[in-house]
């Protein structure tokens, strides 16, 4: 896809998001940049995405030094031994999905003298293939992580299961919103519910998401073919 197309996709999305979510909140647009070149990412930044996000540490390390003028987020599963490459450089970790990772992020942050902003990832559909705290454990995790030095809990992240059943998906998204509201009463730092990708962001913002992570709607279908790894 050429760069003018990327820019026009971002502008269209931003116009659509300008209405806000179902609670009248501003929606933060995060571009999911896996497999994309630095120039493609720059096109998205100049068109006005709020943040860019990789989901693999290797890709982040290859590209991050060339990307400026935009907060960089991390949205993928993270091994504890790779935390050191990210802490201090990542403006928001979306995928804090287990206590072991929270402790690793905490110690690396304390060591570097920074506070890392994190979202607690919730496995809302209880899928074996996905990471995250089980929904019934998520509030306790929120309480624990809110007290963890070196971390600032900014909210929650979830990926809805693949399903055509909008009633089911809407219900799960509502459960996430309820968890977010409960946490926000407890901790005023909580301000993000990161939920929604290209296939389901409209449903998610209709059910209270205020941060979406969008890849293919901005950049076109991903090419995982020869050369990209
Ligand atoms: C790739 C990715 C997205 C965006 O996916 P699209 O369907 O291309 O919009 C969102 N969240 C995570 C965690 C991802 O890895």
Residue 107 C-beta-side C-alpha neighbours within 13 Å: 10
Q: Output phi, psi for 23, to 5 deg.
A: -105, 10
Q: Is 125 helix (H, G, I), strand (E, B) or coil?
A: coil
Instruction: Output the six-digit token pair for 196.
Output: 């929604």
Distance between Cα 113 and ligand 1 center (Å): 31
Q: Is 199 in the pocket of ligand 1 (CB under 6 A)?
A: yes
pLDDT digits 0-9 by tens, 50-99: 999 999 999 999 999 999 999 999 999 999 999 999 999 999 999 999 99
Choose among 175, 180, 200: nearest CA to 192: 180
pLDDT digits 0-9 by tens, 162-204: 999 999 999 999 999 999 999 999 999 999 999 999 999 999 9
Q: Which of 197, 198, 201, 220 to mutate to test the pocket of ligand 1 (most atoms within 8 A of CB)?
A: 197
Q: Are 203 and 34 in contact (CB under 8 A)?
A: no
Per the document, the length of the chain is: 229
C-alpha to C-alpha distance for 108 and 104, rounded to whole angstroms: 6
């Amino acid at each position: 896809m050429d760069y003018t197309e990327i820019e026009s996709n971002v502008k269209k999305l931003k116009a659509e998001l300008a209405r806000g979510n179902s609670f009248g909140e501003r929606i933060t647009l995060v571009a999911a940049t896996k497999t994309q070149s630095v120039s493609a990412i720059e096109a998205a930044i100049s068109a006005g995405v709020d943040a860019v996000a990789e989901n693999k540490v290797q890709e982040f390390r290859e590209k991050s030094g060339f990307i400026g003028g935009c907060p960089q987020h991390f949205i993928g599963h993270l091994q504890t031994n790779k935390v050191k490459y990210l802490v201090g450089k990542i403006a928001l970790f979306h995928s804090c999905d287990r206590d072991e990772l929270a402790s690793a992020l905490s110690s690396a942050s304390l060591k570097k003298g920074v506070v890392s902003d994190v979202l607690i990832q919730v496995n809302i559909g209880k899928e074996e293939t996905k990471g995250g705290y089980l929904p019934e454990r998520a509030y306790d995790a929120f309480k624990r992580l809110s007290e963890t030095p070196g971390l600032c809990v900014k909210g929650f992240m979830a990926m809805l299961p693949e399903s055509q059943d909008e009633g089911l998906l809407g219900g799960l998204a509502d459960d996430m919103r309820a968890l977010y509201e409960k946490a926000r009463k407890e901790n005023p730092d909580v301000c993000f519910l990161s939920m929604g990708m290209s296939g389901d962001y409209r449903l998610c913002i209709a059910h209270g998401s205020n941060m979406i992570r969008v890849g293919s709607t901005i950049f076109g279908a991903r090419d995982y073919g020869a050369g990209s790894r």
